Amino acid sequence: MFLSVFDIFKIGIGPSSSHTMGPMTAAAQFLGQLRTGLREPGAGDVARVMCSLHGSLAFTGKGHATDRAVILGLLGFLPATIDPDKAEVAEAALKDSHTLTPEGLPPLSFDPEKDVVFDFGPPLPGHANGMILRGFDAAGNLYMEETYYSIGGGFVMTAAELDRHKQGGAEEFHAEKAAHGYPYPFGSAEEMLRMGQISGKSIAEMKWENEATHGGRAEVKTRLDAIWSTMDACIDRGLSQEGILPGGLKVRRRAKAIHEQLLSERGTNLAQPHTVNDWLSVYAMAVNEENAAGGKVVTSPTNGAAGVVPAVLRYYRDHCIGATEEGRRTFLMTAAAIGGLIKHNASISGAEVGCQGEVGSAAAMAAAGLCAALGGTNEQIENAAEIALEHHLGMTCDPVAGLVQVPCIERNGLGAIKAVSAASLALRGDGQHFMPLDNCIEAMRQTGIDMSENYKETSRGGLAVNIPEC
């Protein structure tokens, strides 16, 4: 599939792109299928719906508010446009009525306490994040059933779509891009570099031409600026909030206090040279504290890793010499190109490959984006992405209590620091290096396959089972 910059960067809500945004989208899509799809033979009109959650969606669904996401999706809400106040009112009404009233369908019986089932058995065969939505008639006969997979970054596929995607591979990727007229259909970093050498264009310029093929450059620019505006606002909100994050771990927000300390040290001799790392960390932590609180964030490429790219981009704008708005757009376009390569050839899902696929991918994207914004060549950009990803290989996803808080919030700060270091190292070289980005992406995919399920967003291993006794 063609992965647009707006597929990689999607405006949504926390705490998880795969466990909150994806299930909400799937539930809303199921309503559409009930309106237009083929029902089971002999079934009467649809009268009731229910959902079962499997694999990682079951094991960490409570901590990620997956059940609430399904409920809101069945109420017709979508991550990009949800109004939190309206959502709360609709959810409260549903708890009293046990009845959904979707447009174009008869009233549907749905008890939020009973009709979202956490199935702790084996995961569904297609992906670790599986869910089944079913509709029944008034007599209890199956009306319609659909299996969905939330494959990371808010992306959702039905079982049939996922099967076609797995079987299609590289040939389908190139055929799809050629059919839609994209001028630079690179499906690997090697192809990306070769197309850049032939055309004389930067990675960002090739990405711009692909994006503008169907939307027009002005529209793409407007939407790209809206992505950054949302990221920037998320940082600002995170830097202004205090209190305890929801979920029961009693984790305190720290970004505001750290930011105030950093501001107080400006212009004094109190700040050490390495304080710049604290600025990077506090920007990232601000985003991920907002995400943990269920706030408005941008998948970058996921919610769990949503702080890395905004933090490095804010660092570029506020701390780098010669930063420009055009450099900011170059950063985002380049980062999206790298994120698309990783998603296409491996995964950005913590439930599939661990946190190397989330924070590791985000760090690679941010390193490439910063390198590009600072004038790096295509070869230096590819090198920066490889350095950042290489040094996240093997990182597990082991959220304590299934919440995107410990270790996720701090982990984004460290991912941002690694991204800047990777970009800087790459800019010190000429782009020649031993390990190609494509090989590093493949190593990440293979590592994810070999990784125990306990360390892939199930909260059954690692830090998740080594917590203080209270």
Residue 383 and residue 336 share a domain: yes
Residue 265 and residue 154 share a domain: no
If pLDDT is split at 50, 70 and 90, which confidence band does 256 have? Answer: very high
Residue 140 and residue 280 share a domain: no
If pLDDT is split at 50, 70 and 90, which confidence band does 274 have? Answer: very high
Lowest mean pLDDT among 90-104, 111-125, 165-179, 260-274: 165-179
Summarize pLDDT for 57-70 with one digit per residue, the tens: 999 999 999 999 99
Please give the angle made by the CA atoms of 138, 118 and 347, to the nearest 5 degrees. 115
Average pLDDT on 139-165 reads 95
Among residues 128, 161, 194, the one where a domain terminates is 161
Residue 239 and residue 137 share a domain: no
Residue 123 and residue 246 share a domain: no
Q: Is residue 218 part of a domain?
A: yes
Under a CB-based contact definition with an 8 Å cutoff, are residues 53 and 116 in contact?
yes
pLDDT of 175 reads 53
Type and span of the H or E element at 146: strand 142-152
DSSP state of 397: B
Summarize pLDDT for 30-52 with one digit per residue, the tens: 999 999 988 999 889 999 999 99
pLDDT of 167 reads 83
d(CA 69, CA 49): 15
Q: How many independent structural domains does the chain possess?
A: 2
Among residues 161, 193, 222, the one where a domain terminates is 161
Domain that holds residue 79: 14-161
Q: Is residue 6 part of a domain?
A: no
Residue 195 and residue 146 share a domain: no
pLDDT of 10 reads 96
pLDDT of 169 reads 57
Among residues 92, 127, 161, the one where a domain terminates is 161
Q: Is residue 2 part of a domain?
A: no
Residue 448 and residue 337 share a domain: yes
Summarize pLDDT for 376-410 with one digit per residue, the tens: 999 999 999 999 999 999 999 999 999 999 999 99
Listed ranges 37-51, 266-280, 297-311; the one with the highest mean pLDDT: 297-311
Q: Is residue 9 part of a domain?
A: no
Under a CB-based contact definition with an 8 Å cutoff, are residues 20 and 65 in contact?
yes
d(CA 195, CA 24): 38
Tell me: pLDDT of 173 over 60: no
Under a CB-based contact definition with an 8 Å cutoff, are residues 271 and 287 in contact?
no
Q: How far is CA 4 from the centre of its chain?
A: 14
If pLDDT is split at 50, 70 and 90, which confidence band does 176 have? Answer: low
Only one residue has tokens 């970009």, namely 423
d(CA 67, CA 206): 41
Only one residue has tokens 């649809």, namely 46
Q: Where are the alpha helices (DSSP H) in 48-135?
A: 56-59, 66-74, 84-97
Under a CB-based contact definition with an 8 Å cutoff, are residues 309 and 231 in contact?
yes
Q: What are phi and psi of 51, to 5 degrees?
A: -140, 140
Tell me the CATH number at 108.
Answer: 3.30.1330.90
Residue 156 and residue 214 share a domain: no
Residue 141 and residue 195 share a domain: no
Tell me: pLDDT of 468 over 90: no
Q: Is residue 7 part of a domain?
A: no
Under a CB-based contact definition with an 8 Å cutoff, are residues 305 and 412 in contact?
yes
Residue 379 and residue 233 share a domain: yes
Residue 187 and residue 115 share a domain: no
Tell me: pLDDT of 174 over 80: no
Q: Which residues contact 10 (CB under 8 A, 6 or more apart)?
A: 17, 21, 79, 80, 153, 154, 298, 299
Q: Is residue 47 part of a domain?
A: yes
Q: Is residue 470 part of a domain?
A: no
Question: Side chain identity at 231, as an amino acid letter?
Answer: M
Residue 222 and residue 156 share a domain: no
d(CA 209, CA 247): 44
d(CA 453, CA 59): 11
Q: Is residue 444 part of a domain?
A: yes
Tell me: pLDDT of 92 over 50: yes
If pLDDT is split at 50, 70 and 90, which confidence band does 172 have? Answer: low
Q: What are phi and psi of 244, to 5 degrees?
A: -100, 135
pLDDT of 1 reads 47
Summarize pLDDT for 129-142 with one digit per residue, the tens: 999 999 999 999 99
Task: Give the other-Cβ count within 10 Å of 86's Cβ.
Answer: 11
End-to-end CA distance of the chain: 48
